[in-house]
Chain A
Amino acid sequence: MLAGMTVRDEQTIPAIVTEGLVKRYGETTALAGVDLEVPAGTVFGLLGPNGAGKTTAVRVLATLVRPDAGTAFVGGYDVRHDGHRVRRLVGLTGQYASVDEMLTGTENLLMIGRLLGLSRPQAKQRARELLAEFRLSDSADRSAKTYSGGMRRRLDLAASLVGRPRLLFLDEPTTGLDPRSRNEMWEVVRDLVGVHGVTVLLTTQYLEEADQLADDIAVVDHGRIIAQGSPEELKRQTGAQTLAVRPAAEADLPLVVSAVAAVLDTSPEVAGTLVSARVTDPATLPAVVRRLDDAGVTVGEITLRSSSLDEVFLALTGHPAEPAGGGTGTGTGDDGSPAAADSPAGTRSTSDDDDDPAARIPAATRS
């Protein structure tokens, strides 16, 4: 369907522009005035807990629901008045894999190819390509109901790519996937953006996912964008660094607490024998070291690292990303272990993630 189309002045048209987007469902306000601008060719992450309004935003932008107020343009077209053109530019992969379970993988893709105006042989060819690309060739002729969760997601993503969309909505693409499938999905997204130049709007409740994939992140809470910027900017904006100290001897713990408290002028958090606090001035590290040295404390471990996005969310909203998490997750792990200090992208202990397939936010806030 894309063959022979003329190309508009692509560089100047943002993929998505919204202004004051509002959507209500009865008493619930799902979107309370959302302004977004997503440049073409980037990955934009909408990050927030369940019920923050991320899915509603995607549904409005994909023309599935009409906004109650505000404007939204996709590829330069108004989602209200030019829905059909918008739909020609976008692909949608929903939160729940929306393939027809009764049909085989091939039939699912064949149907979409035919709906998009491909001839039967073309649609078959495209289905074969996509099934091969997503490693589904062996299961191509089995009903999708026999597929595993990861396979369904891949088929769902393949289905949204049949028409070679220029903008792809990925609504929580890895929710519920095991770590291996999640990593595969990340690779696919990187490939789409890097090799094919697709713009991606990604919603996620996993801070690590946004950190890994997105060029820009908007943090959503209760239908509003409460912060926006690159992952690094967000970390800087919110106080940014975390200092963690563990004395070699447990008996020195009170001395460490008072030393950190004195230098930073706040009361640090203590978990096990790990004392941690958020800092804004990197010069505090030597100051703390000097003070501990003066007090004769032998330090077992001391780190200064960029705050994780989990901590960013906490700093922005004043509550953990998922309030149901029991209220304990305020920056340090249950086991008191510090997060890996020198990996810029993954500031969280990886073992934690592997044990927790969903890698949900409560787990994240613990590191």
Chain B
Amino acid sequence: MSTVTAVLPEPSTRRAVWPDPGPARVSPLETLRHVRTLAWRNLVQVKHNPMELIDFSVQPLMFLLLFTYVFGGAISGSTSEYLTFALPGLIVQNTLFATLNTGTGLNTDLTKGVFDRLRSLPIARSAPLAGRILADLAKQVWAIGILLGLGYILGFRIETGPLQALAAVGLVALFALCASWIAVLVGMLVSEPEKVMVFGFTLIFPLTFVSNVFVQTNTMPGWLQAFVKVNPVTALADATRGLFVGGPVLTPTWHVLVWGVVLVAVFAPLAVRAFKRRV
């Protein structure tokens, strides 16, 4: 722009060339590349915002230490016993909370105009959302790893096997993927990123606490037990426990999968509709 001609040539003398824009659709391979690039973009953000790293690393560790050493003795009689019971549940709870980040990030992109920029590019229509979800999934797995790592130091042991442990991580991640449609919907609806957290917390806080993540179901009043037993968070916590330290796996896993399908069937169309209204 330094060596600019200040005077416009006459329109008739200007050249305008329309290149052939190529195929009308994005190929699946290209789509994968777009998703990967946008996931990279969401992960590289962390580099510039170390607070976010603390948010999804330190917070779960703090929860783990607090619950194990403050409540553990009271709830289970011994902290080590409680650790075995609570760690799988904490992984579930932390993962569900973290799905809110998808909504926050999405809302930031919408309000800042980044989403418009991305949608004006010749890329797969699903890539901006898929890229974000993929990046968030990577952060989820990272957080699970950190929790397991600290858990190991504190005395938690995987008592089943590596395959089962991997299956546990996979199941939690899969359910988080389904549940993140709730966060996507909230992200589409609210006017600013901070409100995602407010909405999300009022929904996910009771949902994760009124479950058997932290305490045994049979210690609660009957009417509450009724809710706890149908709560998908309970099923996920049971399945995760089963896969990490032993216990029933098949039934809770089945419940988790059904709930996952239900969540997607309900919230994905709502989120898409909210998105179309918004733009």
Contacts and interface: CB of A to CB of B under 8 A. Distances in A.
Interface of A: 2, 5-8, 10-11, 13, 15, 39-43, 59, 62-65, 75-77, 82, 84-92, 94-104, 107, 111-112, 114-117, 133-135, 143, 156, 159-160, 163, 166, 184, 187-188, 190-191, 193-195, 197-199, 213, 215
A104 B23 CA distance: 32
Interface in B131-180: none
B26 A84 contact: yes
B5 A94 contact: no
Given A15-B16, A143-B48, A194-B5, 4 more contacts: A6-B19, A42-B14, A89-B18, A103-B41
Contacts of A62: 120
Contacts of B117: 92, 94, 98-99, 156, 159-160
A330 B127 CA distance: 51
B17 A197 contact: yes
Interface string B19-50: 11111111000100110011011001100110
Contacts of A7: 17-20
B114 to A, nearest CB: 5
Interface of B: 1-2, 4-9, 11, 14-26, 30, 33-34, 37-38, 40-41, 44-45, 48-49, 112-114, 116-123, 127, 279
Contacts, number: 170
A76 B18 contact: yes
A116 B121 contact: yes
Contact of A5 (B22, B45, B49): B22
B6 A98 contact: no
Contacts of A135: 1-2
Contact of B14 (A63, A87, A187, A194): A194
A334 to B, nearest CB: 32
Contacts of A156: 117
B4 A191 contact: yes
A86 B48 CA distance: 34
Contacts of A143: 48
B120 A64 contact: yes
30 contacts: A6-B19, A7-B19, A39-B11, A39-B16, A59-B116, A63-B119, A64-B116, A75-B21, A82-B24, A84-B23, A84-B122, A85-B24, A86-B21, A89-B21, A92-B120, A94-B116, A95-B113, A98-B113, A98-B117, A102-B45, A107-B41, A107-B44, A114-B40, A117-B33, A134-B1, A194-B5, A197-B14, A199-B16, A213-B8, A215-B11
